[in-house]
Structure formats: structure tokens, C-alpha cells
Amino acid sequence: MSCTLRMANAGDAAAILELIQDLAAYEKEPDAVEATVDSVATDLRGDSAVKIECVLAELEGVVIGMALFFHTYSTWRGKPGLYLEDLFVKPAYRGMGAGMALMARLASIAKTRDCARFEWACLDWNEPSIKFYQALGAKPMAGWSVFRLEGEALARLAEEG
């Protein structure tokens, strides 16, 4: 398979949201998606506090996958980083090279933009993805835990500020 990669624009928000919903179902959280076509479009345009970017994989004009990312900053390195929020390829198209092509494109973007690192998180039960990432040469960050504040806990702490 030879898919085509391209940078997404706000007009791709509906296709991206569909992939996000498919990913949420794969991750056993089908009802967790609160994003809308408008919120995705707004963030792709950079009209909000966060600017997201997304590379789309297409086959014969049909969107089959995405790599949605944004920039972080490494204080120790004094350089930006690239953070992959979501990588998803529709199940019918897995194993055909789209995931590899998307990851390679993001690595190229990171190098072009002089990023110090290219990072992402992966659910610990997602063995196929873990094996895929390890085959790329990626290593898990031993000794680090991901923390999250949301909902009431976030609201409570915000009240302190």
C-alpha cells in the first residue's frame, strides 16, 4: 500500500473527529470524547490556547489514519519538543505501512523544526502498539509516571489560585 500523507487543515476537522472517536472505541472509552468538529477546527487553526497539527494518511482520497501532535518545550535542552497526542490507523488498513509512514513524517517534522525530542504515551495494555514503537527504536521512560488533574480535582485546585 502506498498512502499519501498531508498536513490537515480546519476543513478536515470532521474526518479527524471520526478518527478520534474510533480511537476512543479502540481504547475502550467510546463515550469519553467531548471534542466537536468546531473545537478540532478551532485548535487546528490556532484560534485557541493550544495549536494542534495533524498529519493525515489517505488512500485513494479516503482518510485512513492520522498523527495528531503539538509542541512542548524542553527546559533542559532549551528546544521545542514534539508530542504525539494520537496515532490512529483504521483497523482495515493496519499492517500496510500507514503507521510507519505517519511516525516517519513526524520524526522528519521534529528534525526540521530542531526539536530535542519526539514523545508520546501508550496504554500499558496496548501490546501491538508497544511492539510497534519498540521496533521503531523508541524506549519507555522508566521512572516516570503520567499525572492528570481533571474535573472536580482541577476545579478545586484552580480555586486555590
SS (H, E, C) 104-119: HHHHHHHHHCCCCEEE
Phi, psi (degrees; rounded to nearest 5) at 5: -110, 145
12 burial level (CB within 10 Å; 0-12, 13-18, 19+): buried
DSSP 8-class letter at 102: H
Phi, psi (degrees; rounded to nearest 5) at 132: -60, -50
Annotated active-site residue 73? The verdict is: no
Write down the catalytic residue from 26, 73, 83, 133: 133
Query: How far is the C-alpha of 5 from the C-alpha of 73, rounded, in Å?
Result: 26
> What amino acid positions are annotated as catalytic residues?
133
